[in-house]
């Protein structure tokens, strides 16, 4: 048959195998071809490296819309583990870059660097094999966990969580109320869920998807493009370039260490105030953006004024890692309430898509401004 039981042309596991194997192959080919060039219109270009970078980027961009829906079938712990692993993979690559000491004496060859990256991808491949075939993983996947909305939550947290998740219930017999803490909402059956259209599902979760989109737009688009200008305005005039690089490196290293820890903390510490947390992070991002558009930002004339944008930047990146993971877990909880893993898988995929679209839209707006209207950020 052309389609499987879920009416999919390719099963989810098949796509994941494809992505992971492609990642390993790309890294290995990079180790062999990174220095090769080809003549195009009379000039030498690293065609192989550019093409392989494109295929490597495909692995990165498709992972969020494939891996997260896969773990939606598992307990929430697996979502936290995946988010932590994503952060650690970036941390390991950055650590390799620091050890390599670009501009100085190389610690190891470029080929070895890519082979190490291939090894990391192989570890991911082994982990997926375990989840796909090991009896323990299968038992965790098929077990019906008892959903206790009041567990580990005080009354205020419960109300905030339920306001987020249950504002619009798909159960037609449920009273429409602002808070679910005073009513009992029966869980829809599987047949009731099947009757819910995609538009109805989107109506229930669009605010959470918008939060993910906004955070991704700032995290992957606006802030990477504008933070160099912010740090330069807080740097000493006689050492601006070196200080700017130093501040950026400090923020990156701090975020690479703390962001995986923030994602891991969702294993035992979960705040479901995702909309409120998103609002706080957006305010911080807008503050940093205002610094980039201001000729003399607040405290920029003070000797230690650079600590303001540095700490705000680090707090944003770490808070974003925690909030984005909690967005997935909030959607997962909604699926648990509906007793429907299919709901969780669907909205996990939409959330991953919101991340990619947010990153693309943020970059699409920020890059042209920085490239063609740089005076906005330098005067």
**What's the pLDDT at 235?**
85
In the structure, what pLDDT confidence band is assigned to residue 243 with cuts at 50, 70 and 90? confident
**How many C-beta atoms surround the C-beta of residue 8 within 10 A?**
11
Q: Give the single-character DSSP code of 43.
A: E
> Which tens digit of pLDDT belongs to each residue from 307-334?
999 999 999 999 999 999 999 999 988 8
pLDDT band at 9 (very low <50, low <70, confident <90, very high): low
Cβ neighbourhood burial of 168 (10 Å; 0-12, 13-18, 19+): exposed
This prediction has a pTM of 0.80
Q: What pLDDT was estimated at residue 164?
A: 46
Q: pLDDT tens digits for 161-191?
A: 444 444 443 344 344 443 333 334 344 444 4
| CA–CA distance, 82 with 259 (Å, rounded to integer) | 13
State pLDDT tens for residues 206-226.
999 999 999 999 999 999 999
Would you say how long the chain is, in residues? 379
- Give the pLDDT confidence of 105-115 residue by residue, as tens digits: 777 888 888 89
∠ CA 62-64-66, rounded to 5°: 70
pLDDT: which is higher, 170 or 92: 92
From the list 68, 54, 73, the residue with the least C-alpha distance to 16 is: 68
The answer to whether the beta carbons of residues 176 and 158 sit under 8 Å apart is: no
pLDDT tens column, 10-52: 788 889 999 999 999 999 999 998 888 888 887 888 888 899 9
Q: 19 near 121, Cβ under 8 Å?
A: no
Scanning the chain, the segments in alpha helix (DSSP H) are 12-33, 47-71, 76-100, 110-133, 135-142, 155-166, 190-194, 198-217, 223-233, 240-265, 274-293, 307-337, 341-372, 375-378
Count other Cβ atoms within 10 Å, centred on residue 35.
10
Nearest CA to 287 out of 222, 352, 333 is that of: 222
Q: How confident is the model at residue 60 (pLDDT cuts 50, 70, 90)?
A: confident
- Give 196's pLDDT tier (boundaries 50, 70, 90): low
Q: Is the pLDDT of residue 102 over 80?
A: no
Residue 132 has pLDDT above 80, yes or no: yes
Taking a C-beta distance cutoff of 8 angstroms, is the pair 316, 281 a contact?
yes
Q: How many CB atoms lie within 10 A of CB 237?
A: 7
Q: Which helix (H) or strand (E) holds 38?
A: strand 38-40
55 or 145, which is more confident: 55
**Assigned token pair, 56:** 């490597």
> Is the distance from CB of 231 to CB of 244 less than 8 angstroms?
yes
Tokens of 139: 């038992």
Residue 2, pLDDT score: 39
* Residues 217, 320 contacting (CB under 8 angstroms): no
Instruction: Specify the pLDDT at position 28.
Output: 94
User: How far are the Cα atoms of 33, 84, 132 from residue 21, in angstroms, in the given order?
Assistant: 18, 21, 15
d(CA 175, CA 182): 11
**Per-residue pLDDT averaged across 116-143, rounded?**
88
Alpha-carbon gap, residue 44 to 38, rounded angstroms: 5
Close Cβ partners of 301 (under 8 Å, ≥ 6 residues apart): none
Tokens of 99: 């050890």
* pLDDT for the residue 122: 93
Task: Tell me the backbone φ, ψ of residue 4, rounded to 5 degrees.
Answer: -85, -170
Q: For the chain, what is the mean pLDDT?
A: 80
* pLDDT greater than 50 at residue 117: yes
């Amino acid at each position: 048959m052309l389609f499987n039981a879920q009416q999919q042309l390719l099963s989810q596991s098949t796509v994941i195998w494809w992505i992971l194997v492609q990642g390993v192959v790309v890294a290995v080919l990079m180790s062999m071809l990174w220095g090769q060039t080809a003549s195009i219109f009379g000039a030498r270009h690293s065609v192989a490296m550019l093409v392989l970078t494109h295929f490597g980027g495909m692995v990165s961009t498709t992972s969020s819309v494939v891996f997260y829906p896969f773990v939606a079938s598992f307990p929430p712990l697996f979502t936290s583990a995946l988010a932590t692993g994503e952060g650690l993979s970036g941390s390991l690559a950055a650590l390799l870059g620091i050890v390599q000491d670009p501009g100085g004496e190389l610690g190891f060859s470029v080929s070895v660097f890519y082979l190490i990256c291939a090894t990391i991808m192989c570890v991911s491949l082994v982990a997926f094999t375990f989840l796909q075939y090991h009896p323990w993983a299968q038992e965790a996947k098929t077990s019906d966990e008892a959903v206790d909305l009041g567990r580990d939550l005080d009354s205020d947290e419960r109300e905030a969580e339920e306001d987020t998740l249950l504002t619009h219930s798909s159960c037609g017999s449920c009273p429409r109320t602002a808070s679910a803490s005073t009513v009992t909402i029966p869980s829809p059956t599987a047949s009731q869920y099947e009757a819910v259209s995609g538009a109805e599902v989107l109506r229930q979760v669009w605010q959470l998807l918008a939060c993910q989109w906004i955070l991704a737009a700032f995290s992957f688009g606006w802030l990477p493009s504008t933070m160099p200008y912010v740090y330069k305005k807080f740097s000493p005039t006689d050492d601006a370039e070196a200080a700017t690089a130093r501040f950026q490196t400090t923020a990156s290293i701090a975020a690479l260490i703390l962001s995986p820890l923030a994602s891991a903390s969702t294993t035992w510490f979960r705040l479901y105030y995702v909309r409120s947390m998103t609002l706080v992070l957006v305010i911080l991002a807008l503050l940093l953006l205002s610094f980039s558009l201001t000729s003399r930002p607040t405290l920029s004339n003070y000797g230690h004024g650079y600590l303001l944008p540095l700490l705000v930047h680090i707090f944003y990146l770490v808070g974003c890692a925690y909030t984005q993971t909690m967005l997935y877990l909030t959607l997962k909880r909604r699926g648990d309430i509906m007793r429907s893993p299919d709901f969780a898988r669907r909205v996990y995929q939409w959330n991953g898509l919101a991340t990619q679209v947010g990153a693309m839209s943020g970059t699409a707006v920020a890059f042209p401004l920085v490239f063609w209207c740089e005076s906005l950020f330098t005067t």
